[in-house]
Chain A
Amino acid sequence: MKRFLICVALILAASSFTHASEEKYQFEDPAKRELFLELTQELRCPMCQNQNIADSDAMIANDLRRKVYQLLKQGKSREEVVVYMKSRYGDFVSYKPPVTPATLWLWLLPVIFVLGAVVFIVQSRKKAAVKADPEALAKAEVLLEKD
């Protein structure tokens, strides 16, 4: 029981901590606050690879959050903030990759795969149908003759 209580206390402490860090940046406009949360979800921490900047505790993520806050405070739009980051950290910094000759395959490959699979299925169906026909006909013939 005692352990359980300690666990609960720890969880509560942890959750209040995250809440506090979330609210470090204050916005008067709720829309801007929403945009800030969205952007920090979408921007990737350049140091830690697989975390967004909202999630990461790295110094650079801290600095980027601060920068996003400053830029939004200056009235910059969503696109302007993303362009600002990309011009410094490259396309890497956004979790939404742009369509380029190299990344085009991310969209093309699944489509090609599905189309290929459809063609394959249709063709094998056709063959099966053709194959089955003579046998079925013969059987039908036999049945008819019996009658």
Chain B
Amino acid sequence: MKKVLIFLLPLGFFVLVALFLFQGLFSDPRARDSSLVNKPLPDFNLPDLMQPQVEYTPEVFKGQVSLLNVWGVWCITCAIELPYLTELSDNGVRIVGLYYDQDTDPDFGTKTVGTIQQEVNAKLGQLGNPYAFNIFDTYRDYSLDLGVTGAPETFLIDKKGVIRMHHIGDVNPRVWKNKIGPVYQRLMSE
């Protein structure tokens, strides 16, 4: 009995550790539960990127299911997802952009809004424009409120303005089919 135990205990321990480490091979270290899911969008009051005199509040998300896509022209992965997002928006998905500039210090930033608008227009003209409109996160405060770690990130927002999903990384056909699409369809019929 004791001999069997001496043999089995380390074996059992080894199997447990091996299983734990094995599943670690397939887990994405960047995947985390966003602390904002199922909460209403944090409050904001931000200008339109193209027409700075127009101001938006969370009200613009009421009544429609939307994707809020955080992006910038400097972000390489964003450029990769733009054509697919455009395809989605051609199929009737409402996509709102949250644009922020890369200037590491907005307090001492030298870029003018005009320069940014030019860059954005050039990029969207080249790769397609999926956005109903772009909210300009002037001081990058709002992406901080949303718990954004870096572009691109996409939020799925329901008709009441509640965040239902937070996706880190690009939106591609696979992600849409397996992750975002099914929830989107459900929210549409809610």
Contact = CB atoms under 8 A, between A and B. Distances in A.
Contact of B104 (A59, A87, A89): A59
Interface residues on chain B, size class: 10 to 19
Contact of B34 (A47, A58, A86, A90): A90
B35 interface: yes
Contact of A90 (B32, B104, B107, B145): B32
Interface in B90-130: 102, 104-105, 107
B150 A87 contact: no
Most buried by B among A64, A86, A88: A88
A64 B148 CA distance: 11
B146 interface: yes
A90 B35 contact: yes
Most buried by B among A59, A60, A87: A59
Interface string A74-106: 000000000000111110100000000000000
B166 to A, nearest CB: 11
B10 interface: no
B29 interface: yes
Nearest to B29: A49
Given A59-B102, A66-B105, A90 B147 contact: yes
Contacts of B187: none
A58 B30 CA distance: 15
A22 interface: no
Nearest to A67: B144
A62 B34 contact: no
A47 B143 CA distance: 13
Nearest to A60: B149
Contacts of B29: 49
B140 interface: yes
Contact of A88 (B33, B36, B102): B36
A66 B139 CA distance: 11
Given A90-B34, A92-B32, A64 B144 contact: yes
A64 B107 CA distance: 14
Contacts of B33: 90
Contacts of A66: 105, 107
B48 to A, nearest CB: 22
19 contacts: A46-B147, A46-B149, A49-B29, A49-B30, A59-B102, A59-B104, A60-B150, A62-B105, A63-B140, A63-B144, A66-B107, A86-B35, A88-B144, A88-B145, A88-B146, A89-B147, A90-B33, A90-B34, A90-B147
